[in-house]
A and B are shown apart, each in its own frame.
Chain A
Amino acid sequence: MKRLVIVGAGTGGLMVANFVARDLSREIAHGEISVTLLGDKDEYIYQPGFLYVVFDLMRPAQLIRPIKELLAPGIEFVHDRAVRIDPEGKVVERAGGEALHYDYLVLATGSGLNLQEVPGLSEGGHWFYTLEGALQLRDELRRFQGGRVVLTVGVPHKCPVAPLEFTMMFDEWARVRGIREQTEIVYTYPLGRTHSIPSVAEWAQPELEHRGVRVETFFNMESVEPEKKVVHSLEGTDVAYDVLVAIPPHRGDELGAVSGLAEAGNWYPTDRNRLNLNGRDDIFVLGDATNLPVSKAGSVAHFEAEVLADNLVGLLTEGSPPAYQYNGRAFCFIETGLERATFISFDYLNPPKVPQPTNAVHWFKQTYNRIHWANLKAVM
Chain B
Amino acid sequence: MALEEQNLVDAFREEGSSLASAALASVTPRMINRLGGVAESTIAALDLLTSPDIVSLLATLQKAAPTLTPLLEEVSELGPGEGMRGLAKRISNAVTAGADEVRAHPGPITVGAMLKMLRQDPAMAIALRFMLGFVRSMWVESPK
Q: Quick check: is B104 within 8 A (CB to CB) of the other chain?
A: no
Cβ-neighbour of A364 out of B19, B28, B31 (below 8 A) = B19
Q: A303-B28, A358-B15 are in contact. Are A364 and B22 (CB under 8 A)?
A: yes
Contact B143 A358 (CB under 8 A): no
What chain A residues lie within 8 Å of B21 (beta carbons)?
Answer: 355
- Specify the main secondary structure of chain A where it touches its partner: helix
Q: Which of A161-190 contact B (CB under 8 A)?
A: none
Q: How far is the CB of A361 from chain B (nearest CB, A)?
A: 5
A-B contact count (CB 8 A): 45
Q: Quick check: is B30 within 8 A (CB to CB) of the other chain?
A: yes
Q: Quick check: is B101 within 8 A (CB to CB) of the other chain?
A: no
Query: Contact string, B113-144, partner A, CB cutoff 8 A, digits 1/0?
Result: 00000000000000000000000000000010
Closest to B23 in A: A364
What chain B residues lie within 8 Å of A273 (beta carbons)?
Answer: none
Cβ-neighbour of A331 out of B25, B29, B34, B143 (below 8 A) = B25
Distance, CA A343 to CA B26, complexed state (A) = 10
Q: How far is the CB of A353 from chain B (nearest CB, A)?
A: 10
Q: Which of B18-72 contact A (CB under 8 A)?
A: 18-19, 21-23, 25-26, 28-31, 34
Distance, CA A342 to CA B143, complexed state (A) = 37
Cβ-neighbour of B25 out of A22, A25, A309, A345 (below 8 A) = A345
Q: A303-B28, A360-B15 are in contact. Are A380 and B22 (CB under 8 A)?
A: no
Cβ-neighbour of B31 out of A22, A342, A343, A380 (below 8 A) = A380
Distance, CA A361 to CA B18, complexed state (A) = 7
Closest to A22 in B: B143
Contact A343 B28 (CB under 8 A): no
Q: Quick check: is B14 within 8 A (CB to CB) of the other chain?
A: yes
What chain B residues lie within 8 Å of A302 (beta carbons)?
Answer: 28
What chain A residues lie within 8 Å of B29 (beta carbons)?
Answer: 306
Q: How far is the CB of B21 from chain A (nearest CB, A)?
A: 7
Distance, CA A331 to CA B28, complexed state (A) = 11
Q: Quick check: is A211 within 8 A (CB to CB) of the other chain?
A: no
- Specify the main secondary structure of chain B where it touches its partner: helix
Q: How far is the CB of A23 from chain B (nearest CB, A)?
A: 8
Contact A360 B19 (CB under 8 A): yes
Q: Quick check: is A26 within 8 A (CB to CB) of the other chain?
A: yes
Q: How far is the CB of A64 from chain B (nearest CB, A)?
A: 23
Contact B18 A360 (CB under 8 A): yes
Name the interface size band of chain A.
Answer: 20 to 34
Closest to A358 in B: B18
Closest to B20 in A: A360
Contact A331 B30 (CB under 8 A): no
Closest to A15 in B: B30
Distance, CA A306 to CA B30, complexed state (A) = 7
Contact B22 A343 (CB under 8 A): yes
Q: Which of A332-367 contact B (CB under 8 A)?
A: 333, 342-343, 345, 355-356, 358-361, 363-364
What chain B residues lie within 8 Å of A345 (beta carbons)?
Answer: 25-26
Q: Which among B14, B16, B22, B143 has the greatest number of chain A C-beta atoms within 10 A?
A: B22
Distance, CA A358 to CA B22, complexed state (A) = 11
Distance, CA A78 to CA B31, complexed state (A) = 28
Q: How far is the CB of B39 from chain A (nearest CB, A)?
A: 14
Contact A25 B143 (CB under 8 A): yes
Distance, CA A379 to CA B22, complexed state (A) = 20
Cβ-neighbour of A26 out of B16, B19, B143 (below 8 A) = B143
Q: How far is the CB of B24 from chain A (nearest CB, A)?
A: 9
What chain B residues lie within 8 Å of A380 (beta carbons)?
Answer: 31, 34
Closest to A352 in B: B25
Distance, CA A303 to CA B28, complexed state (A) = 7
Q: Quick check: is A19 within 8 A (CB to CB) of the other chain?
A: yes
Contact B26 A331 (CB under 8 A): yes
Q: A25-B143, A380-B31, A380-B34 are in contact. Are A360 and B16 (CB under 8 A)?
A: yes
Distance, CA A244 to CA B19, complexed state (A) = 34
Query: Contact string, A1-34, partner B, CB cutoff 8 A, digits 1/0?
Result: 0000000000000000001001001100000000
Distance, CA A275 to CA B143, complexed state (A) = 27
Could you list some 22 contacts between A and B, CB below 8 A? A26-B143, A299-B26, A303-B28, A306-B28, A306-B29, A306-B30, A309-B30, A331-B25, A343-B22, A343-B25, A345-B26, A358-B14, A358-B18, A359-B15, A360-B15, A360-B16, A360-B18, A360-B22, A361-B19, A364-B23, A378-B30, A380-B34
Add 7 more A-B contacts to A355-B21, A361-B22, A379-B34 (CB < 8 A): A302-B28, A331-B25, A343-B26, A355-B18, A360-B16, A360-B22, A364-B23
Q: Taking beta carbons and an 8 Å cutoff, which residues of B are in contact with A?
A: 14-16, 18-19, 21-23, 25-26, 28-31, 34, 143
